[in-house]
Amino acid sequence: MARRSSPTPPPEDYTERIVDIDVQNEMQDSFLEYAYSVIYSRALPDARDGLKPVQRRILYSMSEMGLRPERGHVKSSRVVGEVMGKFHPHGDGAIYDALVRMAQPFSLRLPVVDGHGNFGSPDDGPAAMRYTEARLAPAALLMTASLDEATVEFVPNYDDQLTQPEVLPAAYPNLLVNGASGIAVGMATNMAPHNLVEVIGAARHLIAHPDATLDDLMRFVPGPDLPTGGRIVGLDGIREAYETGRGTFRTRATARVEAITPRRKGIVVTELPYTVGPEKVREKIVDLARAKKIQGIADVVDLTDRSHGLRLVIEVKNGFNPDAVLEQLYKLTPMEDSFGINNVALVDGQPRTLGLRELLRVYVDFRIDVVRRRSQFRLARREERLHLVEGLLVAILDIDEVIAIIRSSDDADTARTRLTQVFDLSTQQAEYILELRLRRLTKFSRIELEKEAEELRRQIEELRAVLGDEGALRRVVSDELAEVAKAHGTPRRTVLLASAGAPATAATPLEVADDPCWVLLSSTGLLARTASDEPLPHSGERHQHDSILAAIRTTARGEVALVTSRGRARRLSVLELPSLPPTNGSPSLAGGAPLGAFVDLPAGERVLTLSSLDAGSVGLALGTAHGVVKRVVPDHPGGREEWELIGLKDGDEVVGAVELATEAVELCFITSDAQLLHFPAASVRPQGRPAGGMAGVKLGAGATAVWFGAVDPAADAVVVTVAGSTGALPGTEPGAVKVTPWSEYPGKGRATGGVRCHRFLRGEDTLILGWAGATPARASAANGSALELPAATGKRDGSGVPAPAPIAAVTAPAGPVSPAN
């Protein structure tokens, strides 16, 4: 049952008074008081140490707790509780958020809190304070150094039971180095981080030259240096911000085009704009791709980790220009963002908008005052200590009388008085002697005291010199800043660009045009396409991978076929091949992709050459190890990725394949027993794909065909043969190479044995390589490097010269064989 209560009657001397007030004035006054409280006590940083009250209280509390860098971490909740209970009664959430930001390397250029645990990322928040741990970072010691030397004023805390520093001594310009952001009532601040070395360089220049202009200071501080790196595009807004305190600049991600796989290129992002996370960029790209507002994106993978840092891989579809896609990403996603500078900070308790020179001026004046107050404090302490040491030295000189006076005195006051009278000491000196332990009264202690007195006099003289000369005081401040820059400075992370340059889409189309090009196959199995259809140079400096086995002229969006030793053709899209830069007279396939990235062949099967799928060809000529020749009708099934070119018998394989642009060529076989046979291509009738071919060359007992190809009889052709031993290990054959003019070998009919092309020397019993074609020809060593061949001997039965290296292949000007080649 509820109890009835009655109001308490007012006291007898109570007098009721009702005051009429204007509600409008009361609301205005209350709001202004609240606004000033928010501006001064929460939202805006102080221009001297660059800290908001909550940040300053966190650093001061952690310093008082002894959480130095060399000590262990403590739970963040303990730090938050200490700050909230003693200095900042505004809730634990605000305190922990400020603590977390001071520990994030992607938020501050020089973090002042060393966090242990999950302190978040640009995309995700931190773990709860009960899980994370913290301690002061080395940079925080520079902020709190000399607090106990009367360098700054202390003010009462919220309940007047403790005191806290009004501002921290700040041994470096923290406001410019780490920046600040905050929203007050009617105003806000947003300051960009800068490089410590650059800011200190500008501050030292201002100390030495108080009348320095903004242009002089910008030689040291050309622009912000963001913690996440990236690129700043356009410097006009930075100049305006440094001059007026307000300005805007654009930040761009750092990205490069790489070969993600041998068949596909992609954009790799390693740095993002300030406050932008990879997950935010990834989600935006996915949304734009689904809405078909951006084209050419196949996949987006975030590979960011703590070991390798930021790595966002954007895979580009085949047929799209990666540079043009990157320009789209800059335009439509947060990979390019704007940053608005609004340098609002408290100066003498009032919010002001400051330019670069004003910010440095406020800090320099403050730091000079801190060093002056510190020097005065140290001077007073050293003078006080010297006074005591001098009194102790006087007592030690006549220690027996001192002891006698003390023993004969009735109490401490009497002893103090007699000591001051007998030895002409001050009260402080006499009190210090009375409190001294007897073990200090030794000869060794006297020597130590004399050294200490001498050192104190030297320090006092130096401090008086600093305090008596404004120039010396400024030099001390400048030298201390230089030491901070040397100990804590790091290289610049953000690249400054005067302009972004012309957009890629203005000069480069988004999709790769179907322009003519060449598809190349090297002797080491590398595939690539050229950027244009420029004729391939036949001479010039060559490097490894430059020996081109096959070259097909096609278009960037066309298709070619890979012809294998098992008599099969595999369709290949030209768009999937890596594009080579312009040849400049010396083509190189070092940027090509291996065959294994495009075709998976069983053991024992290899790719012999490339074949065009254009209808203009008269067919493909094939030759097998068993001496079979076949001309394949140019019939390419459109819906199949793989088809058969010849029906092979057991144990047989294709040793050569060549695309014929005309029938006016000679087909040629070279056998292992050094026989050469060539006959007109017109003598071989075209057959369908399943056919098994017809007799090409008549082989001797145990012999096989080692090479098959086509030669233009009108060209200046040569025959290259390399002899070796069947018993030698692969690549170690001690053979000889021979180069003979094509005209030395008469033509024979198809299915005959041909003529001899090489005479074996001692230790040689087989041809390990043969080739015929137009000069100049080049040999490819077993490691893929190009070798020059000897000049033609003109002797059909000559033995040749020793091979300079184990030769794996011979190449010539590649392309479809025709009289004009």
Catalytic positions are 131
Residue type, 37: S
Pairing of strands 620-624, 607-612: unpaired
Report angle CA 685, 691, 693 to the nearest 5 degrees: 50
CA 521 – CA 560 distance, rounded (Å): 12
Alpha helix stretches (DSSP H) within 154-235: 174-178, 196-208, 214-218
CA 158 – CA 42 distance, rounded (Å): 14
490 Cβ contact list (under 8 Å, min separation 6): 195, 196, 197
Place of tokens 């704007």: 338
CA 605 – CA 569 distance, rounded (Å): 12
Report angle CA 645, 649, 653 to the nearest 5 degrees: 60
CA 323 – CA 633 distance, rounded (Å): 42
Query: What Cα–Cα distance (Å) separates residue 736 from each residue in 186, 733, 751, 773?
Result: 91, 9, 28, 19
CA 46 – CA 167 distance, rounded (Å): 8
CB atoms within 10 A of CB 128: 12
Q: How many CA atoms lie within 13 A of 592 on its CB side?
A: 27
- Written as six digits, the tokens of 89 are 């009664």
- Written as six digits, the tokens of 655 are 């040793």
Q: Are 627 and 782 in contact (CB under 8 A)?
A: no
- Written as six digits, the tokens of 16 are 């009721």
Q: What 3-state class would DSSP assign to 811?
A: strand
Omega before 776 within 30 of 0, i.e. cis: yes
